[in-house]
Amino acid sequence: MIKYLEKFQQFDLLTVHNQLSLGILKSGHVVLLYLGKRLGTEDLSYITKEIQRASYLADTDHTKDFKLEQYPLVWPTYGNPDMRTPAIHLQYPNGSRISDFRYKRHDIYPGKKKIAGLPASFGRRQVETLDLFLEDALTNVQVKVSISAFEAFDVFTQHIEIINRSIGKLAIERVMSLNLDFLRDDFDLMTLSGAWGRETHIKRNALKQGFQGIDSKRGASGHGQNPFMALLDKNTSEDQGKVYAVDLVYSGNFLAQAEVDMHQNTRLQIGIDPFDFHWQLDPDETFYSPEAVIVFAEAGLNQMSQRFHRFFEQCLIAPFHAEKTRPIILNNWEATYFNFNKELLLDLASKAQSVGIELFVLDDGWFGRRDGADSSLGDWVPYQEKIGGTLTELIQEINSIGLDFGLWVEPEMVSEKSRLFEEHPDWIIAVPNRIPQQVRDQYVLDISRKEVQDHLVEVLDELLTANNIRLLKWDMNRNVTDSYSRALTQERQQELGHRYILGLYRILDKITKKHPDVWIESCAGGGGRFDAGMLYYTPQIWTSDDTDAVERLQIQKGTAMVYPPSALSCHVSAVPNHQVGRITSIETRGIVAMQGILGYELNLLETTAEENQTIKEQIAYYKKYREIFQFGQLSVLPTYEQENATAWMKEKAGLVVVSYVQTLAKPNTVPKRLRLSGLIKEADYLLEGTKDSFKGSELMEIGLPLARPAIDYFAQQWVLRKQ
Question: Domain-by-domain residue ranges, the chain?
Answer: 2-316, 320-631, 637-722
3-state SS, 220-271, equals CCCCCECCEEEEEECCCCCCCECEEEEEEECCCCEEEEEEECCCCCEEEEEE
Rounded Cα–Cα distance for residues 377 and 201 (Å): 32
pLDDT at residue number 713: 66
Longest dimension (CA), the chain: 83
572 closest CA partner among 554, 553, 549, 555: 549
- The per-residue pLDDT for range 647-702, each reduced to its tens digit, is 999 999 999 999 999 998 878 788 789 999 999 999 999 999 999 999 999 999 99
pLDDT at residue number 710: 62
pLDDT at residue number 450: 98
Q: How many CB atoms lie within 10 A of CB 44?
A: 20
pLDDT at residue number 712: 59
Confirm whether 131 is a catalytic residue.
no
DSSP 660: E
pLDDT at residue number 641: 86
Q: Which residues of the chain have pLDDT under 70?
A: 709-713
3-state helix, strand, coil in the chain (%, to 5): 25, 30, 45
Strand ranges of the sheet holding 693-695, from the earlier edge strand across to the other edge: 633-637, 645-652, 655-662, 714-722, 684-687, 693-695
Q: Is 421 left (phi over 0), alpha (psi -120 to 50) or beta?
A: alpha
Distances (CA, A) of 654 to 24, 247, 323, 720: 46, 30, 18, 8
pLDDT at residue number 139: 96
Confirm whether 545 is a catalytic residue.
yes
- The per-residue pLDDT for range 688-707, each reduced to its tens digit, is 999 999 999 999 999 999 98
Class of domain 637-722: mainly beta
Which SS3 state, helix, strand or coil, does residue 557 take? helix
Rounded Cα–Cα distance for residues 567 and 192 (Å): 17
Rounded Cα–Cα distance for residues 218 and 283 (Å): 31
- The per-residue pLDDT for range 590-613, each reduced to its tens digit, is 999 999 999 999 999 999 999 999
Task: Pick the catalytic residue from 531, 545, 546, 548.
Answer: 545
Consecutive H or E run containing 423: helix 419-423
**β-strands 127-136, 471-474 pairing:** unpaired
58 CB burial (10 A radius; 0-12, 13-18, 19+): middle
pLDDT at residue number 665: 81
Rg of the chain (C-alpha set): 27
Rounded Cα–Cα distance for residues 664 and 553 (Å): 13
Task: Pick the catalytic residue from 12, 364, 379, 475.
Answer: 475
Class of domain 320-631: alpha beta
599 closest CA partner among 716, 521, 714: 521
pLDDT at residue number 642: 87
Q: Which superfamily, per CATH, for 2-316?
A: alpha-galactosidase from lactobacil brevis (2.70.98.60)
